[in-house]
Structure 1
Amino acid sequence: MTDMLKLNMLVLSQLTHLFLQPMLERKRGRILNVGSVVAYFSGAPNWSAYVASKHYVLALSKGLARELKGTGVMATVVSPGATGTDFVRTADATHMRAYRAPGGLSVEKIAAAAYRACQNGKVAVIPGAFNKILAFLGKPHPRAVAFEVFAVLSQKTEQP
Protein backbone atom coordinates (compact mmCIF):
# COMPACT_ATOMS: atom_id res chain seq x y z
CA MET A 1 0.00 0.00 0.00
CA THR A 2 2.82 2.42 0.84
CA ASP A 3 4.34 2.04 -2.64
CA MET A 4 0.97 2.80 -4.25
CA LEU A 5 0.49 5.90 -2.12
CA LYS A 6 4.04 7.09 -2.89
CA LEU A 7 3.52 6.59 -6.61
CA ASN A 8 0.06 8.18 -6.81
CA MET A 9 0.83 11.18 -4.63
CA LEU A 10 4.49 11.76 -3.78
CA VAL A 11 6.08 10.82 -7.12
CA LEU A 12 3.34 12.70 -8.99
CA SER A 13 4.05 15.83 -6.93
CA GLN A 14 7.81 15.51 -7.26
CA LEU A 15 7.66 15.08 -11.05
CA THR A 16 5.31 18.03 -11.35
CA HIS A 17 7.67 20.17 -9.30
CA LEU A 18 10.67 19.01 -11.34
CA PHE A 19 9.18 19.80 -14.76
CA LEU A 20 6.93 22.76 -13.95
CA GLN A 21 9.58 25.47 -13.54
CA PRO A 22 11.13 24.96 -17.02
CA MET A 23 7.64 25.02 -18.54
CA LEU A 24 6.85 28.27 -16.76
CA GLU A 25 10.11 29.77 -18.00
CA ARG A 26 9.20 28.79 -21.60
CA LYS A 27 5.64 30.06 -21.02
CA ARG A 28 4.22 26.86 -22.47
CA GLY A 29 3.73 23.26 -21.51
CA ARG A 30 1.23 20.59 -20.61
CA ILE A 31 0.88 18.43 -17.53
CA LEU A 32 -1.25 15.31 -17.92
CA ASN A 33 -2.04 13.36 -14.78
CA VAL A 34 -3.76 9.98 -14.62
CA GLY A 35 -6.53 9.95 -12.06
CA SER A 36 -9.43 7.56 -11.86
CA VAL A 37 -13.19 7.70 -11.97
CA VAL A 38 -13.08 6.44 -8.36
CA ALA A 39 -11.87 9.93 -7.37
CA TYR A 40 -15.48 11.05 -7.76
CA PHE A 41 -16.57 8.62 -5.04
CA SER A 42 -16.20 9.16 -1.31
CA GLY A 43 -14.44 5.86 -0.72
CA ALA A 44 -14.90 2.15 -1.07
CA PRO A 45 -14.59 -0.91 1.09
CA ASN A 46 -11.15 -2.49 0.66
CA TRP A 47 -10.08 0.39 -1.64
CA SER A 48 -9.97 3.35 0.76
CA ALA A 49 -6.29 4.22 0.32
CA TYR A 50 -6.43 3.91 -3.48
CA VAL A 51 -9.57 6.06 -3.72
CA ALA A 52 -8.02 8.66 -1.41
CA SER A 53 -4.85 8.76 -3.51
CA LYS A 54 -6.92 9.37 -6.64
CA HIS A 55 -8.79 12.15 -4.81
CA TYR A 56 -5.36 13.71 -4.36
CA VAL A 57 -4.55 13.43 -8.07
CA LEU A 58 -7.87 15.05 -9.01
CA ALA A 59 -7.57 17.84 -6.44
CA LEU A 60 -3.92 18.57 -7.25
CA SER A 61 -4.59 18.65 -10.98
CA LYS A 62 -7.63 20.92 -10.72
CA GLY A 63 -5.90 23.24 -8.27
CA LEU A 64 -2.78 23.37 -10.41
CA ALA A 65 -4.85 24.12 -13.52
CA ARG A 66 -6.32 27.15 -11.76
CA GLU A 67 -2.95 28.33 -10.44
CA LEU A 68 -1.42 28.08 -13.91
CA LYS A 69 -4.15 30.08 -15.65
CA GLY A 70 -2.59 32.66 -17.94
CA THR A 71 0.94 31.21 -17.75
CA GLY A 72 0.85 29.21 -20.99
CA VAL A 73 1.16 26.00 -18.97
CA MET A 74 -1.91 23.85 -18.49
CA ALA A 75 -2.76 20.87 -16.32
CA THR A 76 -5.23 18.15 -17.26
CA VAL A 77 -6.37 15.08 -15.37
CA VAL A 78 -7.81 12.04 -17.14
CA SER A 79 -10.07 9.83 -15.05
CA PRO A 80 -10.53 6.47 -16.73
CA GLY A 81 -12.68 3.73 -15.32
CA ALA A 82 -12.11 0.01 -15.46
CA THR A 83 -9.56 -0.70 -18.18
CA GLY A 84 -8.01 -3.98 -19.21
CA THR A 85 -4.45 -3.37 -18.03
CA ASP A 86 -2.00 -5.08 -15.68
CA PHE A 87 -3.53 -2.97 -12.88
CA VAL A 88 -6.47 -5.38 -12.72
CA ARG A 89 -4.18 -8.31 -11.97
CA THR A 90 -1.73 -6.37 -9.79
CA ALA A 91 -4.51 -4.91 -7.63
CA ASP A 92 -6.20 -8.32 -7.39
CA ALA A 93 -9.30 -6.84 -9.01
CA THR A 94 -10.00 -9.55 -11.60
CA HIS A 95 -13.15 -10.61 -9.78
CA MET A 96 -14.60 -7.15 -9.22
CA ARG A 97 -17.85 -6.37 -11.02
CA ALA A 98 -16.44 -3.13 -12.36
CA TYR A 99 -13.69 -5.01 -14.20
CA ARG A 100 -15.98 -7.69 -15.56
CA ALA A 101 -18.59 -5.34 -17.02
CA PRO A 102 -18.67 -5.10 -20.81
CA GLY A 103 -17.92 -1.86 -22.61
CA GLY A 104 -14.66 -0.85 -21.00
CA LEU A 105 -12.53 1.44 -23.14
CA SER A 106 -9.24 0.37 -24.62
CA VAL A 107 -6.01 1.93 -23.45
CA GLU A 108 -5.67 3.50 -26.90
CA LYS A 109 -9.07 5.24 -26.68
CA ILE A 110 -8.33 6.53 -23.20
CA ALA A 111 -4.92 7.82 -24.31
CA ALA A 112 -6.45 9.53 -27.35
CA ALA A 113 -9.14 11.22 -25.24
CA ALA A 114 -6.54 12.31 -22.68
CA TYR A 115 -4.23 13.71 -25.35
CA ARG A 116 -7.05 15.66 -27.05
CA ALA A 117 -8.22 17.09 -23.73
CA CYS A 118 -4.68 18.04 -22.76
CA GLN A 119 -3.97 19.73 -26.08
CA ASN A 120 -7.30 21.58 -25.93
CA GLY A 121 -6.64 22.90 -22.43
CA LYS A 122 -9.38 20.96 -20.68
CA VAL A 123 -8.86 20.62 -16.96
CA ALA A 124 -10.52 17.22 -16.57
CA VAL A 125 -11.71 14.48 -18.88
CA ILE A 126 -13.64 11.30 -18.13
CA PRO A 127 -13.50 9.04 -21.21
CA GLY A 128 -16.53 6.87 -21.94
CA ALA A 129 -20.26 7.23 -21.31
CA PHE A 130 -20.35 4.60 -18.55
CA ASN A 131 -17.50 6.33 -16.70
CA LYS A 132 -19.25 9.69 -16.99
CA ILE A 133 -22.36 8.10 -15.44
CA LEU A 134 -20.28 6.66 -12.61
CA ALA A 135 -18.69 10.04 -11.94
CA PHE A 136 -22.15 11.61 -11.96
CA LEU A 137 -23.39 9.05 -9.45
CA GLY A 138 -20.41 9.71 -7.21
CA LYS A 139 -20.29 13.47 -7.38
CA PRO A 140 -23.60 15.32 -6.98
CA HIS A 141 -25.55 12.88 -4.88
CA PRO A 142 -25.32 12.24 -1.17
CA ARG A 143 -22.01 10.59 -0.38
CA ALA A 144 -23.83 7.66 1.21
CA VAL A 145 -25.40 6.82 -2.17
CA ALA A 146 -22.07 7.15 -3.98
CA PHE A 147 -20.39 4.98 -1.36
CA GLU A 148 -22.95 2.21 -1.87
CA VAL A 149 -22.71 2.39 -5.69
CA PHE A 150 -18.95 1.91 -5.50
CA ALA A 151 -19.36 -0.81 -2.86
CA VAL A 152 -21.51 -2.79 -5.32
CA LEU A 153 -19.01 -2.25 -8.15
CA SER A 154 -16.06 -3.33 -6.00
CA GLN A 155 -17.65 -6.59 -4.83
CA LYS A 156 -15.96 -9.77 -5.92
CA THR A 157 -17.84 -12.07 -8.26
CA GLU A 158 -17.47 -15.69 -9.24
CA GLN A 159 -14.46 -16.73 -11.28
CA PRO A 160 -14.88 -15.88 -15.01
Structure 2
Amino acid sequence: MMATLSGGDDSRSDSSISTAGTRMKELLFTGEPADADRASAIRRELGEWLDIVGVDPDRAYDVVLATYEAIANSVEHAYRDHADRGTLDIRVLWVADGRIDVKVVDRGDWASHNSDPNRGRGVPLMRALADSAAVTSDQNGTTVHMIWDAIRST
Protein backbone atom coordinates (compact mmCIF):
# COMPACT_ATOMS: atom_id res chain seq x y z
CA MET A 1 0.00 0.00 0.00
CA MET A 2 1.34 3.39 -0.97
CA ALA A 3 -0.28 6.53 0.44
CA THR A 4 0.73 10.15 0.13
CA LEU A 5 0.94 11.68 3.59
CA SER A 6 -0.45 15.11 2.89
CA GLY A 7 -1.31 17.81 0.43
CA GLY A 8 -0.57 15.90 -2.77
CA ASP A 9 3.20 16.10 -2.25
CA ASP A 10 4.41 13.55 -4.80
CA SER A 11 7.90 13.51 -3.30
CA ARG A 12 6.81 11.93 -0.02
CA SER A 13 5.08 8.64 0.64
CA ASP A 14 4.25 6.38 3.55
CA SER A 15 3.81 2.66 3.02
CA SER A 16 3.08 -0.41 5.09
CA ILE A 17 5.01 -3.56 4.19
CA SER A 18 4.78 -7.14 5.40
CA THR A 19 7.66 -9.51 4.68
CA ALA A 20 7.69 -13.05 6.11
CA GLY A 21 5.26 -11.95 8.81
CA THR A 22 7.32 -8.92 9.86
CA ARG A 23 5.44 -5.64 9.93
CA MET A 24 7.30 -2.63 8.57
CA LYS A 25 6.51 0.95 7.68
CA GLU A 26 8.50 3.07 5.28
CA LEU A 27 8.65 6.83 4.88
CA LEU A 28 10.19 8.08 1.63
CA PHE A 29 11.18 11.55 0.51
CA THR A 30 12.40 11.55 -3.10
CA GLY A 31 13.85 14.38 -5.13
CA GLU A 32 13.75 16.80 -2.21
CA PRO A 33 15.48 20.15 -2.75
CA ALA A 34 18.76 20.28 -0.85
CA ASP A 35 18.05 23.48 1.04
CA ALA A 36 17.78 24.51 4.68
CA ASP A 37 14.06 25.32 4.59
CA ARG A 38 13.16 21.90 3.25
CA ALA A 39 15.55 20.22 5.72
CA SER A 40 13.68 21.84 8.61
CA ALA A 41 10.32 20.77 7.18
CA ILE A 42 11.52 17.17 6.74
CA ARG A 43 12.73 17.20 10.34
CA ARG A 44 9.24 18.14 11.54
CA GLU A 45 7.51 15.64 9.24
CA LEU A 46 9.84 12.82 10.32
CA GLY A 47 9.17 13.55 13.99
CA GLU A 48 5.41 13.50 13.39
CA TRP A 49 5.66 10.23 11.44
CA LEU A 50 7.74 8.52 14.14
CA ASP A 51 5.13 9.61 16.71
CA ILE A 52 2.30 8.20 14.57
CA VAL A 53 4.19 4.91 14.11
CA GLY A 54 4.63 4.71 17.89
CA VAL A 55 8.38 5.07 18.28
CA ASP A 56 9.53 5.79 21.84
CA PRO A 57 10.01 9.59 22.20
CA ASP A 58 13.67 9.32 23.31
CA ARG A 59 14.53 7.06 20.38
CA ALA A 60 12.53 9.27 18.00
CA TYR A 61 14.53 12.29 19.18
CA ASP A 62 17.80 10.51 18.35
CA VAL A 63 16.51 9.43 14.92
CA VAL A 64 15.25 12.92 14.07
CA LEU A 65 18.44 14.65 15.24
CA ALA A 66 20.80 12.25 13.43
CA THR A 67 18.71 12.31 10.24
CA TYR A 68 18.52 16.10 10.30
CA GLU A 69 22.29 16.25 10.73
CA ALA A 70 22.77 13.99 7.68
CA ILE A 71 20.41 16.17 5.65
CA ALA A 72 22.10 19.38 6.85
CA ASN A 73 25.50 17.98 5.86
CA SER A 74 24.19 17.22 2.37
CA VAL A 75 22.72 20.71 2.10
CA GLU A 76 26.00 22.29 3.20
CA HIS A 77 28.57 20.06 1.54
CA ALA A 78 27.13 18.10 -1.39
CA TYR A 79 26.29 20.88 -3.78
CA ARG A 80 28.51 23.70 -2.55
CA ASP A 81 30.27 24.16 -5.91
CA HIS A 82 27.21 23.48 -8.09
CA ALA A 83 25.04 26.09 -9.78
CA ASP A 84 21.85 24.38 -8.61
CA ARG A 85 21.20 23.09 -5.11
CA GLY A 86 20.59 19.50 -6.16
CA THR A 87 18.28 17.00 -4.52
CA LEU A 88 18.14 14.45 -1.71
CA ASP A 89 16.38 11.15 -1.19
CA ILE A 90 15.55 10.05 2.36
CA ARG A 91 14.24 6.61 3.32
CA VAL A 92 13.18 5.70 6.85
CA LEU A 93 12.20 2.10 7.56
CA TRP A 94 10.56 1.16 10.87
CA VAL A 95 10.21 -2.52 11.77
CA ALA A 96 7.68 -3.64 14.41
CA ASP A 97 10.44 -4.95 16.73
CA GLY A 98 11.78 -1.40 17.01
CA ARG A 99 14.54 -1.44 14.39
CA ILE A 100 14.89 1.76 12.43
CA ASP A 101 16.93 2.06 9.24
CA VAL A 102 17.61 5.48 7.69
CA LYS A 103 19.33 6.37 4.42
CA VAL A 104 20.01 9.91 3.21
CA VAL A 105 21.31 10.01 -0.36
CA ASP A 106 22.58 12.95 -2.39
CA ARG A 107 24.25 13.18 -5.77
CA GLY A 108 26.86 15.78 -4.82
CA ASP A 109 30.52 15.57 -3.87
CA TRP A 110 30.55 16.54 -0.15
CA ALA A 111 33.45 18.89 -0.74
CA SER A 112 34.81 20.12 2.57
CA HIS A 113 36.18 23.62 2.27
CA ASN A 114 36.12 24.55 5.92
CA SER A 115 39.14 24.27 8.19
CA ASP A 116 37.31 25.78 11.18
CA PRO A 117 38.22 23.63 14.22
CA ASN A 118 34.70 24.19 15.61
CA ARG A 119 33.18 22.34 12.66
CA GLY A 120 33.14 18.66 11.75
CA ARG A 121 30.97 17.34 14.55
CA GLY A 122 28.08 16.07 12.43
CA VAL A 123 29.32 12.59 11.54
CA PRO A 124 30.52 11.84 15.10
CA LEU A 125 27.12 13.01 16.37
CA MET A 126 25.32 10.65 13.98
CA ARG A 127 27.57 7.79 15.09
CA ALA A 128 26.88 8.56 18.76
CA LEU A 129 23.10 8.66 18.28
CA ALA A 130 22.68 5.56 16.09
CA ASP A 131 23.72 1.99 16.84
CA SER A 132 25.45 1.99 13.45
CA ALA A 133 26.28 4.87 11.11
CA ALA A 134 28.29 4.88 7.90
CA VAL A 135 29.04 7.52 5.29
CA THR A 136 30.02 6.30 1.83
CA SER A 137 30.89 8.50 -1.12
CA ASP A 138 31.68 7.81 -4.75
CA GLN A 139 31.43 9.63 -8.07
CA ASN A 140 27.61 9.37 -7.91
CA GLY A 141 27.20 11.05 -4.52
CA THR A 142 27.10 10.28 -0.83
CA THR A 143 24.94 7.95 1.25
CA VAL A 144 24.55 8.21 5.01
CA HIS A 145 23.17 4.93 6.40
CA MET A 146 22.14 4.77 10.06
CA ILE A 147 20.60 1.89 11.98
CA TRP A 148 18.97 1.73 15.40
CA ASP A 149 18.83 -1.87 16.61
CA ALA A 150 15.71 -3.68 17.79
CA ILE A 151 14.49 -2.73 21.23
CA ARG A 152 15.47 -5.42 23.70
CA SER A 153 13.02 -6.34 26.44
CA THR A 154 14.48 -6.52 29.94
* TM-score of the superposed pair, with normalisation by structure 2: 0.31
* Larger fraction in strand: 2
Greater length-normalized contact order (CA 8 Å, ≥ 6 residues apart): 1
Kindly indicate which of the two structures has a greater share of residues assigned to helix. Answer: 1
Q: TM-score, normalised by structure 1?
A: 0.31
